[in-house]
């Protein structure tokens, strides 16, 4: 773990290189002030462009790793649900009421007059646009 007095790779503002630095100050888990072990300039910590100190991606907008079917369905306009028929042409996001699978929504329009429809328990590929 990083700690004051410990070493961390940082971009040195003077050397313009990613070099080992001694940590002078930290805020929480992140170093904020570091000293270049090469030129001894003290500067703000600059994370190397790629990967030496991975920082967790902020994901505040999502409550969990996956959004439930119900949450997605809640964002759809259920009043616009269309009864499934292979003759109907569907579009992405359209809500479908299927006699067997129940409510679902079009998650992709595929080639060959097919749509991928996400239902509560399954994702199905259904034909559509097999017009009259």
36 binds Zn ion (CB under 5 A): yes
Piece in contact with Zn ion (CB under 5 A), picked from 7-15, 71-79, 93-101, 117-125: 7-15
42 binds Zn ion (CB under 5 A): no
Residue of 20, 25, 39, 110 interacting with Zn ion (CB under 5 A): 39
Angle at 56 between CA 51 and CA 58, to 5 degrees: 130
Q: 31 or 104: whose CB is closer to Zn ion?
A: 31
Strand 102-110 to 7-11 pairing: unpaired
Q: 15 or 44: whose CB is closer to Zn ion?
A: 15
Convert 78-103 to b/e letters by CB count within 10 Å (16 or more is b). Answer: eeebeebeeeeebeeebbbebeebeb
Q: 38 or 89: whose CB is closer to Zn ion?
A: 38
Within 10 Å of residue 105's Cβ, how many Cβ atoms?
20
Give the interface with Zn ion as residue ranges (CB under 5 A): 12, 14-15, 36, 38-39
């Amino acid at each position: 773990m990083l700690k004051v007095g410990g070493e961390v790779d940082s971009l040195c503002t003077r050397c313009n290189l990613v070099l080992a630095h001694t940590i002078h100050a930290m805020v929480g888990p992140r170093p904020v002030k570091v000293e270049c072990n090469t030129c001894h300039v003290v500067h703000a910590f600059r994370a190397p462009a790629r990967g030496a100190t991975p920082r967790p991606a902020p994901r505040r907008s999502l409550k969990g790793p996956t959004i439930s079917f119900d949450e997605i369905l809640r964002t759809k306009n259920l009043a616009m649900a269309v009864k499934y028929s292979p003759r109907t042409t569907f579009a992405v996001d359209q809500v479908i009421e299927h006699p067997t699978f129940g409510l679902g929504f079009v998650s992709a329009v595929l080639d060959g007059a097919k749509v991928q429809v996400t239902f509560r328990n399954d994702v199905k590929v259904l034909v559509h646009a097999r017009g009259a």
